[in-house]
Amino acid sequence: MGSVVESREWYLAAYSPHGVPNSDNLKLRTVALSLSSDSIPDGHVSLQILFLSVDPYLRTRLTGTLDGLYIQQYPLNEVITAYGVGRVIGSKDSKYTEGDLILTPSAPVAEYCILPSSRVIRKIDAASGISLPDYLSALGVPGFAAWVGIVVLGDPKPGSNVFISAASGAVGMSAGQLAKIRGCRVIGSTGSDEKVKLIKEEFGYDDGFNYNKESDFDAALSKYFPDGIDVYLDNVGGKMLESVLNHVNKYARIPLCGMISQYNKVWTEREGVRNLLNMVGKEVRMEGFMLESYWHRFEDFAKEMEGYIKEGKVTSKNKINIGIESFLDSLASLFSSSNIGKVVVQVNKA
Amino acid sequence: MGSVVESREWYLAAYSPHGVPNSDNLKLRTVALSLSSDSIPDGHVSLQILFLSVDPYLRTRLTGTLDGLYIQQYPLNEVITAYGVGRVIGSKDSKYTEGDLILTPSAPVAEYCILPSSRVIRKIDAASGISLPDYLSALGVPGFAAWVGIVVLGDPKPGSNVFISAASGAVGMSAGQLAKIRGCRVIGSTGSDEKVKLIKEEFGYDDGFNYNKESDFDAALSKYFPDGIDVYLDNVGGKMLESVLNHVNKYARIPLCGMISQYNKVWTEREGVRNLLNMVGKEVRMEGFMLESYWHRFEDFAKEMEGYIKEGKVTSKNKINIGIESFLDSLASLFSSSNIGKVVVQVNKA
């Protein structure tokens, strides 16, 4: 490894208040990065980035306002960051040595970087038999979100009727499998017939429907939930959430994981939910969550989920796009209904 | 007491899907009721109704659909029922004797009745020093709703910023005082300058505003909550709830007690809330409640609230309308912004 590398990275050129972010907002540039031992401060590691996790919440860090998820906005002209897997290529922290594989929620969207080792949340056991992309899907941000939503907040009982939107997406695929493990009846909505087939055949959903073919969500939910909905893991918001509120059972729980249908709009143009009054009579609990509040449970999650993966009870479908240059299109694909499963960018060969 | 009395009663002549219920929906009739000992079945008492509680939820039992609060609808042509205080005038249950004062959630909106004694939830101690109308306000349905909303679900800490809508209404007046007892900063919204004065001077609110004078709720909430809102007891729904979601703090709680601004509309015409996405980033918990799920806590509530009333820490303002004939106008007044405090109908002299 030469002491200076050329590293391509995506930086924020302009905020994107609405619409799908494009090449006016995120631009690729090449920087020269010194990775010589002298260039690594104490308590830091140098990394070759291997895989980056492409998640919908990243979009809300590009608006330039705190509206929405209230996550800190990326600063202009700086490289953006994401959850990722890296290989240690140099270390000024005795806990890490060259060749270690690590996970960090704060990987620069770049080919190489120098990172404070405090940002490393986990060393990956290369002998675990689990693929590196799975550490970003079932064992990463979306798997953890599914676990918090289903296990911690939704807490369905055996036989509960569980509905999951964006069911073939990165969160939905793990969420459906977790609900099945708990003995629930699980129905998903997703954006194509192919994806409906997928969630039934690969992720164990009892049934599902293509929301693009349903002109009347209320009618669809009446059909798939003759006994009502006990838990709805909401990943989309808007009209689907409104329709669900017409089908909730007493004491239903609605963990709000994200609202992908609403991210690209300013709030005044988002779809209003008109039937919140139903929450009163049905005594529904709706609760938003962000993973930052649940990191203290990450080890519980990881242990449980690794067990399921090794037993073959949870599987992931990962869409791996090759090369750092694919990051922007990968992000845009989350909003186009074109992708299936977890979108990952492979930056360097593992 | 003659063995047959003429008893006037309000019955449901036609459902009222929207708008304020009127004399086409509820009609007064006179029935002859035998109160002789032979006419009282075992396990029943005959009552002279003294006071009836006029509450917004009654309106949702008149729509003819389960939409909204999902409470059982009143049957057509039958006398409607409400929470009330009665005096026992005859008894076929050894627990009750002539002259006892009792509380029941199922009093016919009538001058006299025969009631299963299982419907009696409490015998009133005439020597308690608490006025009978207070048993329907701070110690009745609205006081219990305030207690569940603030104490059980809102659970604010000393110094928390608490917002209460319909603050001068029956629930709001007790809720504000309960939040102050817990050491919170409490702000209310209400429909006139006179009511703003009232909540500050009589119910201990730190401040309040007249929503009819605020063209921009967001601006008003910015002014009154420079540090954001920790607990919002929602009694109105619609635009005010939407504005609150632009001012919530992390982990805010929103107990949904009712949505009086929305009851007179079919759901598709209710005001949509467009910014539920804020609940994700702020990790807000919104939870509807109905008192039927909390009756097991009624004694806890009653004991605590009686203590506050006797210590002078909680006071009620009751609007007492005289005569069974005033019931319909009393119900309509809940939706006109004209009333203050708890609306009670005095049916017979106490």
pLDDT digits (tens, 9 = 90+) for A217-248: 999 999 999 999 999 999 999 999 999 999 99
Residue B302 belongs to a domain: no
Residue B84 belongs to a domain: yes
Distance CA(B39)–CA(B5), nearest Å, equals: 12
Residues B115 and B241 reside in one and the same domain: no
The residue of A71, A280, A284, A291 whose CB has the most chain B CBs within 10 angstroms, and thus the best one to mutate to test that interface, is A280
Q: What are phi and psi of B147, to 5 degrees?
A: -65, -45
Residue type, A101: L
Residues A173 and A102 reside in one and the same domain: no
Closest CA in chain B for residue A280: B288
| Mean pLDDT (chain A, rounded) | 94
Residues B336 and B272 reside in one and the same domain: no
Residues B73 and B159 reside in one and the same domain: no
pLDDT cut 90: percent of chain A above it? 84
Q: Which pLDDT score, from 0 to 100, does residue B240 have?
A: 96
Q: Which of A94, A140, A99 has its CA nearest to residue A121? A: A140
Give the tens place of pLDDT for each residue, B199-236: 999 999 999 999 999 999 999 999 999 999 999 999 99
Residues A59 and A174 reside in one and the same domain: no
Distance CA(B110)–CA(B121), nearest Å, equals: 19
Give the tens place of pLDDT for each residue, B273-319: 999 999 999 999 999 999 989 989 999 999 999 999 999 999 999 99
Q: Do A285 and B285 touch (CB under 8 A)?
A: yes
Q: Which pLDDT score, from 0 to 100, does residue B3 have?
A: 82
In this model, does residue A318 exceed pLDDT 90? yes
Q: Which pLDDT score, from 0 to 100, does residue B263 have?
A: 72
The CATH number covering residue B158 comes to 3.40.50.720
Residue B309 belongs to a domain: no
| Mean pLDDT (chain B, rounded) | 94
In this prediction, residues A261-290 reach a mean pLDDT of 89
The CATH number covering residue A58 comes to 3.90.180.10
In this model, does residue B328 exceed pLDDT 80? yes
Q: Which pLDDT score, from 0 to 100, does residue A69 have?
A: 75
Number of domains into which chain A is organized: 2
The domain in which residue B233 lies consists of 141-292
The answer, for B291 touching chain A at a CB cutoff of 8 Å, is no
Residues B154 and B50 reside in one and the same domain: no
Distance CA(B148)–CA(B174), nearest Å, equals: 11
Q: Which pLDDT score, from 0 to 100, does residue B2 have?
A: 53
Residues B215 and B110 reside in one and the same domain: no
Q: Which pLDDT score, from 0 to 100, does residue A263 have?
A: 72
Residues A147 and A270 reside in one and the same domain: yes
The answer, for A298 touching chain B at a CB cutoff of 8 Å, is no
Q: At what angle do helices A217-224 and A238-245 cross, to 10 degrees?
A: 50
Residue B313 belongs to a domain: no
Residues A128 and A157 reside in one and the same domain: no
Distance CA(A151)–CA(A147), nearest Å, equals: 5
- Beta strands (DSSP E) in A191-313 are 207-210, 229-233, 248-256, 285-288
The answer, for A348 touching chain B at a CB cutoff of 8 Å, is no
Distance CA(A264)–CA(B153), nearest Å, equals: 33
- Beta strands (DSSP E) in B136-256 are 161-164, 185-190, 207-210, 229-233, 248-256
Residues B132 and B145 reside in one and the same domain: no
Q: What are phi and psi of A10, to 5 degrees?
A: -95, 125
Residues B260 and B156 reside in one and the same domain: yes
Q: Which pLDDT score, from 0 to 100, does residue B350 have?
A: 82
In this model, does residue B335 exceed pLDDT 90? no
Helix (H) or strand (E) holding A195: helix A193-201
Q: In chain A, what is the straight-line distance between the N-terminal and C-terminal CA atoms, in Å? A: 16
Give the tens place of pLDDT for each residue, B161-206: 999 999 999 999 999 999 999 999 999 999 999 999 999 999 999 9
Closest CA in chain A for residue B238: A274
Q: Which pLDDT score, from 0 to 100, does residue B51 have?
A: 98
Residue A9 belongs to a domain: yes
Q: Do A241 and B285 touch (CB under 8 A)?
A: no
Residues A274 and A188 reside in one and the same domain: yes
Q: How confident is the model at residue B44 (pLDDT cuts 50, 70, 90)?
A: very high
Distance CA(B332)–CA(B328), nearest Å, equals: 6
How far does the CA of residue A307 sit from the closest CA of chain B (Å)? 29
